[in-house]
Amino acid sequence: MPDAAGSAESAINEAQITVRDVTMAYGSFVLMSGLNFTVRRGDIFIIMGGSGCGKSTLLRHLIGLKDPATGEIIYGDVNFTKAEPAIREKLLRRFGVLYQSGALWSSMTLAENIGLPLGEFTDLTPVQIREVAALKLALVGLKGFEDFYPSQISGGMQKRAGLARAMALDPEVLFFDEPSAGLDPISSRLLDDLILELRDNLGATIVVVTHELASIFTIANNSVFLDAESRTQIATGDPHEMLANSHDARVRRFLTRGQEGGGSASSHG
């Protein structure tokens, strides 16, 4: 067993997330239990399921905003759930998170938003930080918007700026909470392409919470399917294979928009 700090490094090199027997609960109310799945390095991993089944809550567990009631979340060989605060913080710094609404800091310009983590955790000079921020903004198609405040740009642009901020420290695991919510079909498609490029060119592992089927089939190669009724996961694996081979009526109904698997789409919500 290597020392704790060293193992934090190797965990990220493998960039492997293991969720073992996790139960999510609010107080005594159990939201989900028996969660077991693995995200491999370089995966685009989808957390899917109907509205309100706990997808976003699972994401909050993965990024350490909530701790599982039982079970553990492991990054590589570091037990994230039981790690010391210092090691957790070190791991967190290697994650990038894109929140549902973008969650840009509203009192700062876009360049300052992206520059904040750079200023805190790197030795770059202010000029260099601004250059990096401009580069990240250009990567998401927001060249020249450095000095805009989040309230001055549209929702889709905020989301892209949020992505630029999530990528500020070149994270090796990127988390997306409903990236296409509130985006028009074309922007949503562009975001999917961006996600694929991030994986292919930066080698990042990407975890996405979504229920957009078009997105799922475009980007995913691995997934977990959460079911609100039974309060557990009912399928894991590549969604394409799920669609081809799964015999579970609930999974089929979801992946075919209620065309198959019995029952109408309206009874699913």
Among 28, 51, 245, 266, the residue binding another protein under the rule CB under 8 A is: 266
DSSP readout, 24-54? EEETTEEEEEEEEEEE-TT-EEEEEESTTSS
φ and ψ at 176, to 5 degrees?
A: -120, 125
- Please list the residues that pair with 173 across neighbouring strands: 95, 205
Per CB under 8 A, does 8 bind another protein?
Answer: no
| Residue placing its CB nearer to another protein in the complex, 116 or 234 | 116
Task: State in angstroms the smallest separation of the CB of 88 from another protein.
Answer: 9
SS3 call for 75: strand
Site string for another protein, 136-175 (x = CB under 8 A): -----------------------------x----------
Among 36, 38, 101, 232, the residue binding another protein under the rule CB under 8 A is: 101
Per CB under 8 A, does 93 bind another protein?
Answer: yes
User: Which tokens sit at 168?
Assistant: 């500020």
| 198-237 positions binding another protein, by CB under 8 A | none
SS3 call for 126: helix
Q: How far apart are CA 42 and CA 40, in angstroms?
A: 6
Q: Which range, of 10-18, 71-79, 100-108, 245-253, touches another protein by CB under 8 A? A: 100-108
Per CB under 8 A, does 105 bind another protein?
Answer: yes
Q: Which position has the token pair 């580069």? A: 135
CA angle, residues 147, 149, 152, in degrees to nearest 5: 115
Per CB under 8 A, does 181 bind another protein?
Answer: no
Q: Which range, of 84-92, 122-130, 141-149, 215-223, touches another protein by CB under 8 A? A: 84-92
